[in-house]
Structure 1
């Protein structure tokens, strides 16, 4: 995911390597597996001229949100068949790495762009989702009054405080799942929490602002424009208000910018409805440029709404005070067991299919892909 260049690599590899603890890097010598698609018995290994390097950054930031950075290359002579140039790739998906930290870089700009009001009374707390709950992750729809829905996307928390966001915090009851140092919350007395997000949006409108239009435009590209924004800011637990400064990844097709260039003059504001509000209540938000209208990267504000059917309704938080507030989530036993049984059933079916493949030489692709929709149906039912 996130290839640079236009590689055309379609092969199966097996390899072995060594781990460099000082550099947090895994170096692998890989060999091609031939005839892997026909039968496991007929497949064989050969051509061990592929090299793979995987690095796991210890610190994430608004400019570097990739949990895995790597490259793959061939050590063959350039004029020999099977040679390919060095290819860089990144992976920024949901992967939990122990000890991974997040470093905030735009908080001075956040303080200027997101003025906070006086601290609220502590009795108002608990009406909005806490920063560690799954409710902070949601899908969005970009709305324009004259055109209706013109885009869609998602907002995924990257870090809460300096700790990587845990997708299922109630399954990690150790202190590692919650902040363990006083620097995590910017102001624990007022309920302000530092938080960072990854925002992905696809706009379907063919008439976008100049700041959002791809420079190398074509009739096909103009129908859909993908926008990736990394953002960090402050979440007010007492009011459900989130204000962040964002950095937009500029398209590599723009020859005037490098592939690592970013536009960090973006303001993101989000308002969460109370937990006890009507189920039809929506998360409201906006993404706007802080540049002058004459700037080529300026774009008109994007208004969006998100789904707010909070999963916290089926969970009961138990608050424990030990130098800081912690939440231990308790949920229905039947819901947990139902999902566990689903996963076990899928495992058994897959093992049966793999066993039968030794005699039938094939594994039904449709069944194999339908057994584990893990990204679509996680343990607690990803809504």
Structure 2
């Protein structure tokens, strides 16, 4: 058949070959499906029936976030609810009706995305050698076909999946999937249970442990019994309608449909794990959960009812593809109550001895959520609520009312209509003296993207600051912020950006959220120890602040509050000051700030003043950075093109004068070849793979920078290939003995013996300098450019030193000419002079760049396309020394090729050269 197919393809048109390939593919798929007999394994569950046509019936879609599964360790790795794998089950084609009423024929796919390490034993393993570790990842997809009965709710499917054995050989996994699903459902049967079982023998390579699945999918026909009955009785929600935001039920439900949204559980002050009626699920988990997370299973097409999963956890972040743990999860029905503008939920416990034996019961849980309409410095909860039970204190499982709060950045709880009430402005005005505006100076305006900044506190923490409200408007919803964000792109917003005239420089009220992240596990010492109580379990300190920003002076002064971590109290005796740089200033966009306590030094909550270094990035800086990057890409292309032309001319010169090839230093050619090769190796992905980088995300350049970098790499590749060709020609000439001079190889060895120790000594000096810096500089890194420039890794120092060696590429050729005493013009002037210019111009440009550009702080480490400081020694001194040294070496080469290899040595050494060239006549 294969021979026939080949001959047909040779004679027929390409379209015919494509049709034949599709036919062969379908035959292969059909064979795969029919290889597992349905009647043999599933006839006792749902008898096989003949299909009669398409059925207007939507079978449930199962996915990870609504599901939980265990088992299958042999193919999926270790089981557990912290599973890194994902799962989905869906129909792959249409659902078919059959001759049997209520029985449907279904073709489906069940996929597992696997991320785990699997250890395989090695053959002939010697003592002390561990087994091989192999990363097994990818999608395991079972192609299933079978039948489902509407009357019994049972379904059975058989099929197979392509996988690999422990030796890496192709393997087919045959399996059977039994499931239970009821089309008409209520809270008690709204779930799908199933078990995927291997059809192979336990000792076979294709065997895997049974995989039990529990899922709560969206269903078309669902009866909301619980919430309807509870609303009829009256839901106990203690909230005034005017104090909360109104919204549409569908929008509220969609807020919880992207991922699990976490809420903090605030227990009573006397609550502990030892108290019986404290935690909602402490008996089942053995600990008191600190958070609950909500996920909407099903949102309403019409009406105001919805379904939820409510999971108790100790983590503030669940992840978009996290599975739920049945032992700590409630399944519930919710409703948006328009009378109180609140979300009310009735929750039920999931009880099971295994995922195949599941029951939903104990529907005594009640939960309410609402969205405050006004924020202040002390109240910035995105959502507030309560969880309680309708049991009495004598009942088993009773617990007291527990508050819920959502202040986390996780989730999408952004309800329109929120307002802000400034309560600390009067106190702030007494603590912050007003500055006089400078004439002609321009600063960012309050709504600009510049108001967001990163910051660090030396030896303490790093963090970020983000405005919440500017005046009465939300900062996140402002047009300037959106156009400046990564979704808008800097190129699109230059006209609407921050620099404003003096007429617009009116002080404006602002509110901020500042987050500090601890740099280590060590607690703060004397003078700052009171701040330790405000760090949460994730090492984060949050400061709520509000104050006034004066766009005429660039000053931001605020009062702040921090959570004390006990009895939900706060310390609001904090003042923060920040001075923004001028939009066209000379300090490189650095914000200087401070945070201090206004309490007396004897107060237990007092802490010493903290100096803050912050960064800002204005649109004018972004525009100049983009222009500079364009210029640098152009210079890289010109530089590499000049390198290619220089090498091409040298190859042409060598072919014209073939005897000169043997006099070219191989050490020099190896250095130049490595200089082109190493950047290609380090940036290989730029040629063939899409690359995510901070600068691309920040500039949102629609791919222009990536495309230009690929062009740069292609030109670099051309230079590398040409340089390799020149090296190969010189090596071949040396080996073939085309040189008229004998002993050229000896001179090359002398060159290597002299240059190699010099290079090694230089490398050791770089290592010692790096070690000294690391020994004496123990301060943690900050965002201060002057400090980050001084903090080099060993790899960075060695890389810069390698760049210095490349700049002095002519040094081995100078040594070879001295040892060989050669007057041969081995190198053409365009080659050695052009290559010298290629390595000298970046240093001249660095001098120009240092005096004409102020790289934007956050972009600084990512936007060096040309004259990258990490690839060579760049400074005011080095930028003068290196080009002059390169030109000096080029001048020496010129003199050596004109007057002899030892022309630069004292006269007595040059006379030795003349004596060596006098022919000896035998008498």
**Does TM, scored on the shorter chain, surpass 0.5?**
yes
Q: Describe the superposition over 1:299-333 as per-residue Cα deviations: whole angstroms up to 9, x where unpaired.
A: 110112123344674579xxxxxxxxxxxxxx867
**Counterpart residue number, 2:702:** 334
Deviation, 1:79, is: 5.7
1:26 maps onto 2:343 in alignment: yes
Q: Check if 1:282 corresponds to 2:599.
A: no
1:28-64: CA deviations, max 9, x gaps? 21234567x969xx87644322111112111000110
TM-score (norm 2): 0.28
Cross-structure match for 2:507: 192
1:113 to 393, 412, 431: 431
Following the alignment from structure 1 to structure 2, what is the Cα–Cα distance between the partners of residues 277 and 63?
36
Equivalent-residue separation in structure 2 for 1:131 and 1:251 (angstroms): 32
- Does 2:607 align with 1:293? no
CA distance in 1, matches of 2:702, 2:478: 17
1:162 aligns with 472
Distance 1:107 1:279, change over 3 A: closer
Provide the residue aligned with 1:246 in structure 2.
Answer: 560
In 2, Cα distance between the equivalents of 1:4 and 1:188? 48
* Deviations 1:61-114, CA, capped at 9 Å, x for gaps: 011011211222222345655544322121124543211100000111121112
Give a deviation string over 1:138-188, Cα, whole Å, max 9, x none: 332111xxxxx2222222222111222216735869xxxxxxxxxxxxx97
**How big is the shift at 1:239?**
2.9
Q: Secondary structure at the match of 2:428?
A: helix
SS in 1 for 2:467: strand
Change (3 A) 1:312 1:84: farther
Q: CA deviation at 1:119?
A: 4.9
1:102 is aligned, of 420, 423, 444, to 420
- Alignment CA distance shift 1:2-1:119 (3 Å): same
Aligned counterpart, 1:153: 463
Query: What TM-score do the two structures reach when normalised by structure 1?
Result: 0.63
- Quote the offset at 1:240 in angstroms: 2.2
Structure 1 unmatched runs, 5+ = 144-148, 174-186, 253-257, 317-330, 339-381
Go from structure 1 to structure 2 and tell me whether the alpha carbon gap of 1:104 and 1:70 turns closer, same or farther (over 3 Å shift).
Answer: same
Q: Secondary structure at the match of 2:595?
A: strand
SS at match of 2:426: helix
Alignment equivalent of 1:132, drawn from 436, 447, 452: 447
CA separation of 1:22/1:286 partners in 2, compared to 1, >3 Å: closer, same or farther? farther
Root-mean-square deviation (CA, aligned residues, Å) is 4.0
SS of the residue 2:530 aligns to: coil
**8 Å contact kept, 2:591–2:614:** yes
Structure with the largest fraction of helix? 2
The answer to whether the 8 Å contact 1:210/1:297 transfers is no
Q: Does 1:269 align with 2:584?
A: no
Which runs of 5 or more structure 2 residues have no equivalent in the other structure? 1-262, 273-287, 290-311, 314-327, 484-501, 625-698, 707-857, 860-923
Aligned length: 292
Q: CA deviation at 1:196?
A: 0.7
Which range moves more in the overlay, 5-14 or 104-113? 5-14
CA deviations on 1:1-51 (whole Å, 9 max, x unpaired) are: 43323633343333333334464422221234567x969xx8764432211
Tell me which residue corresponds to 1:54: 369
Indicate if the aligned counterparts of 1:120 and 1:190 stay in contact, CA closer than 8 A. no
Say yes or no: does 1:2 pair with 2:264: yes
On the 8 A contact 1:155/1:198 being kept in 2, the answer is yes
CA distance in 1, matches of 2:387, 2:418: 24
Q: Is the 8 A contact 2:524 2:532 kept in 1?
A: no
TM-aligned CA distance change 1:14 to 1:227, over 3 Å: same
Question: Which structure would you say has the larger RCO, counting Cα contacts within 8 Å and 6 or more residues apart?
Answer: 1
Instruction: Give the secondary structure class of the aligned counterpart of 1:2.
Output: strand
Structure richer in strand, relative to its length: 1
CA contact (8 A) 2:336 2:343 kept: yes
> CA distance change for structure 1 residues 332 and 303 in 2, over 3 Å: closer, same or farther?
closer
Cα distance 1:243–1:115, how it changes in 2: closer, same or farther (>3 A)? Answer: same
Structure 2 counterpart SS, 1:212: helix
SS of residue paired to 1:124: coil
Give the superposition deviation at 1:247. Answer: 1.9
